[in-house]
Each structure stands twice: as C-alpha cells, then as structure tokens.
Copies of this chain bind each other. A is one copy, B any other.
Amino acid sequence: MTEFRKDTIINRWVIIAAERARRPSDLAEQTTEYAKGGFCPFDVGNETATPPEVFAMRNQGTLPDTPGWQVRVVNNLYPALSVKDKPLITNCGLYLSMGGYGTHEVMIEGTDHEKQFADFDDQAILRVFLTWQERIRFHKKNSAVCYIQIFKNHGKRGGASLEHTHSQLVAMPFVPGLVEQEIRGAQDYFNTNNRCVYCDLLKQVRENKVYLVAHDSHVVSFCPHASRYPFETWVIPTQHQAGFEDADQETLFKTGRNLGLVLRSLNRVLNRPSYNFVLHTNPAQSGSANYHWHIEVIPITTSIAGFERATDCIINTMAPEKAAEFLREGL
C-alpha cells in the first residue's frame, strides 16, 4: 500500500511506499564511520590550531584560545561564505549572482573528543543551546544578515569531516527557500484559522498518538505524517515562540533533554547512524510572529536517486507511524 502525503506546513508531497515487514535493521548502519584522524584541532590544548575563538563558555579567569572552556565557537577554517564577498547583486543577462556574503562558524560542543552529542547529559546540551542563542543574538545585530542557519552534521555519511562533536552556524543575506516556505505556510494558516499551525499540529500529534515519540508539558517529538526520510523526527516546544533566541531556559533545557532521548533511541534502533539535525527559527530581519521554531532530526539511512532529483518528491520506504513505534520502543 502506497500513499502520497502532503506536509502539514508547506506544499510538499512525499510518497510513503512502506515495504512490508521492513525492519529498522534493514536501514541500520553496518559500520558507523567517523572521519578519524590523529590530530584534532578541537581538542583541549589545541586551541591555537583553530581560527581565534569568537565566543566561549569558559571558566572565569581563563584566557581566550586556551583551555578552560566548555563550549567554544570559532570561524570555520573552510567557510562556505565570507564577509569579504559583499552581498551585491550583479546580473549578466539571465545570469543573476550575489557575493557570497556571510559567516560560517563552528561550535565545538564539548571538550571530550570521544563523547558524542547523544551521550551528553542534559546540562551539556543546554550549554550548546545557550551558545546557539548567544550567536543568533550576535549575528542578528548585523542588518545585512537575514537568516542564521544552525545545523549539525554527525558521522561521515552526515557530512561531518571531523569526529569531535560540533555544530555549525551560517549567517546569510537572504532567507533560504525551505524556511521561507515554512514561514509562508504558517502565515497562510494563521490568516485562515487565526492559530499557529505548529501549535495545532502538536495538539493533534498528542491526541492521535501514532506519530508521537516523546513528550512532556514543554516539548513534543514525533515522526511527521509526511516524513521525507525514514525515522525523520521533529522536536517542537509546546509554547508558541517564533524565534529560538527568545526561548527561556526551562524550554531550552526540556527541548534539549527530549532531543537527547530521540538521538539515543535512534542510536539503539539504527545502530548509531549518521544524522543531521537542523534548527528552523524566525529570520533575523523579517519573519512572522506566527512561525514557531523547531528542530528537525534526519538520520541518514538511504540515498535519493533520479526520481527524487527530477521531482523533489521523495519516496520514503519507512512509514512514520512505524518509525515512531520503533523509536518509542527504543526510548
């Protein structure tokens, strides 16, 4: 039985083609690959091997670019964007270009080279989230920055080139397409219903339960009805808030705890897969009070091919209701 399903927020269809009796082991990592290397520039004591730190949570009295930190933010040595490339639009006939203006930072999430994010205690995850808030607030002051994208690549198939746990931030001069679509979707829904679509979605997820992974009074995680990827999971705070940087510490703490639960369940169910997780939050200079920040977790279990590249319509071979069941068992 195959089904098209439409995303609740945006105009995106997926094909849920769940093969009979598909087991998580069919999708599990055979050997989790990390980008191993002898010298790690993110280890304590190697602070001079990275660009200078732009922010750190560190023990009082310790100096920048020396040991004594818990979370440390530096510019990416191989940035995708640069403040040197001014955001000026140029066009040559039908070819439109803009300087690759922006900032690309690396947030070293902890000091222990071996400890992965999923193994962090709740306080350590909170420190990472507080750092994200700090950096978003910093970049928002720059009027040329329209969006601040925070994301994490974990494992080699997730795109991580260094094993030491870290997340990344890209501050950019326009709102990226996917976020723009979500904001427009949320605004359209609000215009019709006078309510937030994410708030309504959380209500339905908690009542209907089939997609639910874990929840408490502050946060809900679930596999969305129109999941693009097997075991895709969204983590959304119940309190309506457009911007992540405005979340209070209790919300952050409980969101982090829930995210930790989800990642550890994924590790059990899929044998420590590579994954990405990404923050979607309100843009820096525009956006909508009717948007609602959230985190999307995407384990890397499959590849897309010609049909998906042709259509942008992804075939997902694991029904989210089934994935949610496995993830609840893995908690």
Residues from chain B with a CB closer than 8 A to the CB of A4 are 97-100, 173-174
Cβ-defined contact, A96 with B5, below 8 A: yes
Cβ-defined contact, B94 with A313, below 8 A: no
User: Does A8 have its Cβ within 8 Å of any Cβ on chain B?
Assistant: yes
Cβ-defined contact, B80 with A152, below 8 A: no
User: Does A11 have its Cβ within 8 Å of any Cβ on chain B?
Assistant: yes
Residues from chain B with a CB closer than 8 A to the CB of A81 are 2, 15, 17
Residues of chain A in range 285-312 having any CB-CB distance to chain B below 8 Å: 296, 298, 303-307, 309-312
Q: Given contacts A1-B85, A310-B280, is CB(A204)–CB(B149) below 8 Å?
A: no
Count of identical protomers in the assembly: 2
Cα-based distance from A11 to B174 in the complex (angstroms): 12
Cα-based distance from A226 to B307 in the complex (angstroms): 21
One of A25-33, A111-119, A175-183, A233-241 contacting the partner? A175-183
Residues of chain A in range 1-42 having any CB-CB distance to chain B below 8 Å: 1-6, 8, 11-13, 15-17
Interface of A is mostly: mixed
Cβ-defined contact, B98 with A177, below 8 A: no
- Nearest-CB residue, chain B, relative to A224: B95
A interface residues, how many (CB within 8 angstroms): 68
Cβ-defined contact, A13 with B225, below 8 A: no
Cβ-defined contact, A151 with B80, below 8 A: no
User: Does A197 have its Cβ within 8 Å of any Cβ on chain B?
Assistant: yes
User: Does A159 have its Cβ within 8 Å of any Cβ on chain B?
Assistant: yes
Residues from chain B with a CB closer than 8 A to the CB of A165 are none
- Nearest-CB residue, chain B, relative to A85: B2
Cα-based distance from A311 to B100 in the complex (angstroms): 15
User: Does A62 have its Cβ within 8 Å of any Cβ on chain B?
Assistant: no
Cβ-defined contact, A168 with B97, below 8 A: no
User: Does A170 have its Cβ within 8 Å of any Cβ on chain B?
Assistant: yes
Cβ-defined contact, B159 with A93, below 8 A: no
User: Does A110 have its Cβ within 8 Å of any Cβ on chain B?
Assistant: no
User: Does A267 have its Cβ within 8 Å of any Cβ on chain B?
Assistant: no
CB 8 Å contact bits of A77-98 with B (1 = contact, 0 = none): 0011110010000001111111
Cβ-defined contact, B178 with A15, below 8 A: no
Residues from chain B with a CB closer than 8 A to the CB of A94 are 8, 197, 200-201, 204, 225
Known: A15-B80, A15-B100, A152-B306. 7 other contacts (CB 8 A): A2-B82, A5-B95, A5-B96, A159-B305, A168-B307, A178-B313, A296-B309
Q: Which residues of A contact B (CB under 8 A)?
A: 1-6, 8, 11-13, 15-17, 79-82, 85, 92-100, 149, 151-153, 157-160, 168, 170, 173-174, 176-179, 197, 200-201, 204, 208, 225-226, 276-280, 296, 298, 303-307, 309-313, 315
18 example contacts (A-B, Cβ-Cβ < 8 A) are as follows A2-B82, A2-B100, A3-B97, A3-B98, A4-B98, A4-B99, A4-B173, A13-B177, A17-B81, A93-B208, A94-B204, A151-B307, A153-B305, A153-B306, A159-B304, A168-B307, A179-B311, A277-B306
